[in-house]
Structure 1
Amino acid sequence: MTTYRVHMSHFLSTRVVQGARRFWLSGLSCLALVGCSAGLTPHIGVSEEKIPHEQVADYLSTTCDELWTLDGSIAENNPLYWLRGMDCADRLTPAQARAQANQLGDASWSDAFKRGVLLANAKITPPERELIVSRLDAHSAQIPSRIRPLYQVWRDNQMLQLKLSDERTRYSKLQESSDAAMDELRQQQQALKGELDLTTRKLQNLTDIERQLSSRKPSSGFNPDSTHGTDASADTEDKQ
């Protein structure tokens, strides 16, 4: 009986310990989940704080007269400022663009870029365009990283225009040389035609002379047989 009680008490204590262990493990799991969810919330907040909330000025509504008066790093480091400047420069006449560009120097990258933007479509000569690009290249290290992609696209466009100008010049030279060659061929053709006409006239004259000589032979009256008959009659009369 005592043995039965001992076994029974051991069995009950084992069951209680196992139940308590299961309860503790489940409670720990819940605490771990709560801790994870509590720990995730600050990370989400940190990630949201890393998103930049910088307000970039849009110069689309700025008038062109006001735009060129703006300067400083806030405007010059904004690609939208330069895009609006390119749009305003396209609306100017070549004379107006040159007048505004002459008011600027090229001591800084921004002034040199403004001059280039103003003069890009002002019907400048290829040497002037090359000078603008070379002056900007001298300031290329000072161009901000935010403006560099836009500047590179603008510069590539200028180089394409220079290449197009070179191709036009080369085509014009080829056209001139081709026209000169055609003129020389025309002159040679005219000279050959003149020689051919002269030769044709000479042949025609020779043909006419030959025809005249041929027409004179039958009318000359010279007949060898008749002359021989006359001589024979004279000999007969002498013999008689």
Structure 2
Amino acid sequence: MKRNQVSMSHVFSRVAGAVLLPKKMLRALPCLLLAGCVSQTPEHAVHEQFEEQLPEHQLADFLLTDCGNIWSLTGQAFDTNPLFWLRSMDCAGRLAPAEARAEARVWPDDTWQDAFKRGILLSSAKITPLERRENITRLDVLSPQIPAPVRPLYQLWRDGQTSQLQLAEERGRYGKLQQSTDAELDTLRQQQQFLREQLDTTTRKLENLTDIERRLSSRKPAGNDLPDSARPARTETKQEDAKP
């Protein structure tokens, strides 16, 4: 407040001196009066406002934590820290499927922490859709115990697992559809081959019949070439008709 008073007196002294200035300088008088009325915020107040925006609790970052030691860290400080679980997911993704399965067998599914660790490890172990669904179902039972800071990360992880299940189901349906389509195509190919063979057989039969008919036609004698014995006795018939 004292600093504000000093600033105000300084402003008024400048205003009093401005009375003796030329008329051109008097135009700045309203601006000077307004400037004197503006209160100056102390620097400590600015710092206090900035400090109020900072989070009250700082979280430990596990970005540099060795993946070989991440699974041995237990306790509330780790269980409630989403950065710890994020680092656990990163480390699980770097394990080979066999190593991830071996590490997952160490953790039971009695608590949400152990079940979550087990689910994270198995999700990177190329498990079957049935195993993935069992992990999700078990964690759904224990999910009400998950702390609020970890819940958003858990929900994202669960959504990813659900998406992989849906993808596996779509692949299964596509595989069945492809098998059914392939079977239908094979049936159509067999029917086409059968009809082609039938057509070839019918064509050969027609060609044989045509050849036989042509041969018979070539062997049939003409009417002028008939022998005399086959001709009717026209003269005898006329003589009998002439008798009284």
Tell whether the structures are fold-level matches, with TM greater than 0.5: yes
**CA apart distance, 1:194:** 1.6
Counterpart for residue 15 of structure 1: none
1:124 is aligned, of 123, 127, 134, to: 127
Counterpart for residue 55 of structure 1: 58
Counterpart for residue 69 of structure 1: 72
4+ long deviations beyond 2 Å? 44-55, 218-232
**CA apart distance, 1:218:** 3.7
Q: How does 1:11-90 map to 2 (within 5 A)?
A: 48=51, 51-90=54-93
Change in CA separation of 1:229 and 1:136 when aligned onto 2, cut-off 3 Å: closer
Counterpart for residue 146 of structure 1: 149
- Residue 108 of structure 1 aligns with an amino acid whose one-letter code is T
Number of positions where the alignment pairs a residue of Structure 1 with one of Structure 2: 198
Q: How does 1:1-12 map to 2 (within 5 A)?
A: none
TM-score, normalised to structure 1, is: 0.73
Counterpart for residue 28 of structure 2: none
2:198 is aligned, of 167, 184, 195, to: 195
Q: Distance in 1 between matches of 2:75 and 2:211?
A: 98
Q: Where does the alignment leave 5 or more consecutive residues of structure 2 unmatched?
A: 1-36, 239-244
- Residue 172 of structure 2 aligns with an amino acid whose one-letter code is T
Q: Distance in 1 between matches of 2:55 and 2:192?
A: 79
**CA apart distance, 1:184:** 0.8
**CA apart distance, 1:206:** 0.6
- Residue 64 of structure 1 aligns with an amino acid whose one-letter code is C
- Residue 160 of structure 1 aligns with an amino acid whose one-letter code is S
**CA apart distance, 1:230:** 9.1
Q: Where does the alignment leave 5 or more consecutive residues of structure 1 unmatched?
A: 1-32, 236-240
Larger Rg belongs to:
1
**CA apart distance, 1:186:** 1.0
More helix by share: 1
1:84-133 CA deviation, whole Å, 9 max, x = no partner?
11110111000000000000001111111101111112110000000000
TM-score, normalised to structure 2, is: 0.72
